[in-house]
Structure 1
């Protein structure tokens, strides 16, 4: 198939002539309808890892979406909401862009959502303005994503948002010298920067910074490097899934905990689905995060019940589920504000400043950045009387925005 590259509205990807014709016909139809399109069925395209090593996170996306629709129905006004899923097992920007393009052009979705990995979310942002489609980021955690298009809204978190508070916690815990260890990609670099800025502002010293390839699965050399650094504590970030489970197990099994080296991290590293495998070795580990399944509120109990039914195993409900649940709330509000018409600018304007009670606590969409403002919690892994493990919230950092936006170039 022959094709060409186009730079219109910042889009510089390769597209075929048949897709170009489809886009042109869509634009003509759009103009004939007076600039807006209306559908009795409103499609939401969700891109995420529904197979492969990160499939649990994709299942959590779906559980959160299903839970929201179970509680609130599948209609907004006279329109029916339909979810169209696309699978991307691991970070793959080219595939993410292709899937998003397919959803917009062939499936006719009015909203894009999901996006577990930052590179996948960034790749799709170039399509939004020409496609007249808002995108709701339900997980990807690099600050820069919301700056790439005025049609991006985030209902998850950023690494700056969750990693900055743990720096003060580390300093107060007596760790004055810390080594940072992160996965070498956008969120990892953000997490490293966030921690170092806050930790050094508190008076601490970063003795070494280690960035690991995302493909790393042997952590023994990293553990030896931590021991050799002379650090009193380690700050770590890896994308949640098999990588985080492997890293925390290696930390415990290589004697770092017994050596008195303190462990600090955002909540990805003690996600609830991993706690049974970590067992007693995880008890006492502290992380900062925007959500814990144990959060004490009626809204959260209803959410956990609905999401547990949707996923089939309540123990598998994970933090991407709450990002998806709240993402659907935002999408429903956009559909309501536009009366079902396809008008991305109007939809996004309608939710700027929107506030509501989430399962995670009070949240709001910042009208300037379109990023979520929320509480961040210091959590400690605890063991319940029935032998199960959970993240117990022990401190609240209220109404946290995204400090990382100040560093986006």
Structure 2
């Protein structure tokens, strides 16, 4: 029997055993994320969100202890993501999967879920189409179409008529490009050129020259948060585009809080739209920031993946409660369809049809707070935003 058949047999045994078994004393949750390598800070934020939730809500639910098992996926690698998910389900016997930073990895894991009888709660991966690949996937983060769509009107309201777009050439970047183009065009704007950059791009000077030559008044940019976004914003400034009067607009990935000290004056005044800012003013967020900052050890490293993980654990706890610790993936997912609660980011809910989070999207401006520290200051709210990308499918 080859490995694939063996794995199928193991999944089948889990399926039969999981639905019929008595409630478990310990429920295991497997979290896949980048805990080393260039995106390690995002993985640390996954862990911080998980630890903050368990610290504020306890390490058991409905009489069942919750044990978290972490697996490291340093960069996008669909084959490795699939192997890690298989290992967690078969060897570690987790009942829930969570995390997943990059879209290609989520796409690779999704086809396993039904046979494994295991829900996947996505803490970050942001392409709309992921949730169409399995009925057992739920997302507590955002999509780039969701965070980008309000920006089209914002850019038009700032008097900009011509924009060049520059996005990373993978699912979320393509989603962001399409969403911005649709919204900006509807507001009367024109996209004069579209640039798609390989995900491993680290020399942005040719991109900036193309921007300069395009005659655009502004750039719309999307890149995955991490070294690439930091490099893009620095290059935008160092090549003189900001000084020449060209404006930069983006979803909030480009100005994540952990990068703001390094960006400094280079990011001052930048407008972004996003689902969360560390500076969000609410009692729920204050408690979250304190707990997550303590888990990180360095509160300055707190960024948006932590809130996706925090709310992801809330959803998983509700699933465990609904199934009384039994492994019944469909019942678990059905239990959170329509679920609503107050997140550190504001009011949220899980759309019953798409299994994606409905949330506020905020217009933010990089500015100094009373202590002279750069923050993403929320200046406008777009309430109860669903995912336009899923709505269009």
TM-score (ref. length: structure 2)? 0.98
Q: CA deviation at 1:39?
A: 1.3
Tell me whether 1:103 sits opposite 2:91 in the alignment: no
Give, in whole Å, the separation in 2 of the partners of 1:233 and 1:188.
18
> Which segment drifts farther, 19-28 or 76-85?
19-28
Q: Is the 8 A contact 2:139 2:356 kept in 1?
A: yes
**Mapped partners of 2:80, 2:305: distance in 1:** 21
Q: Does 1:19 align with 2:7?
A: yes
The correspondence for 1:381, drawn from 355, 358, 366, is 366
CA deviation map 1:230-288 (0-9, x unaligned): 00110000000000000000001111111111110000000000000111121100000
User: Structure 1's 20 and 167: CA in aligned 2 closer, same or farther, altered over 3 A?
Assistant: closer
Measured after TM superposition, the shift of residue 388 of structure 1 is 1.2
Of 228, 231, 237 in structure 1, the residue corresponding to residue 216 of structure 2 is 231
Contact 1:233 1:264 in 2 (8 A): yes
Q: Is 2:253 aligned against 1:268?
A: yes
CA contact (8 A) 2:15 2:117 kept: no
**Equivalence map 1:108-123=2 (5 Å):** 108-123=93-108
Is residue 138 of structure 1 aligned with residue 126 of structure 2? Answer: no
Residue 92 (str. 1) matches residue 73 (str. 2): no
Report what 1:186 is aligned to. Answer: 171
Q: In the alignment, is the contact (CA less than 8 A) between 1:37 and 1:342 conserved in 2?
A: no
Compute the RMSD of aligned alpha carbons: 1.2
Aligned residue for 1:163?
A: 148
Tell me how far apart the structure 2 counterparts of residues 266 and 308 of structure 1 sit (CA, whole Å): 23
Aligned to 2:24: 39
Displacement of 1:290 after TM fit?
0.1
Whether contact under 8 Å (1:196, 1:206) holds in the other structure is yes
Q: 2:300 aligns with which of 302, 312, 315?
A: 315
Contact 2:11 2:115 in 1 (8 A): no
Residue 356 of structure 2 aligns with which residue? Answer: 371
Partner secondary structure for residue 221 of structure 1: helix
How do 1:231-380 residues align onto structure 2 when only pairs under 5 Å count? 231-380=216-365
Query: What is the Cα deviation at residue 37 of structure 1?
Result: 5.3
Q: In 1, distance between residues paired with 2:5 and 2:358? A: 43
CA distance in 2, matches of 1:27, 1:322: 31
Shift of 1:407: 3.6
How many residues align? The count is: 393
Q: TM-score, normalised by structure 1?
A: 0.94
1:28 and 1:391 map into 2 onto residues whose CA distance is 49
SS of match in other structure, 2:32 = strand
Pair 1:151–1:175, CA change in 2 (3 A)? same
**Cα shift at 1:27:** 4.8
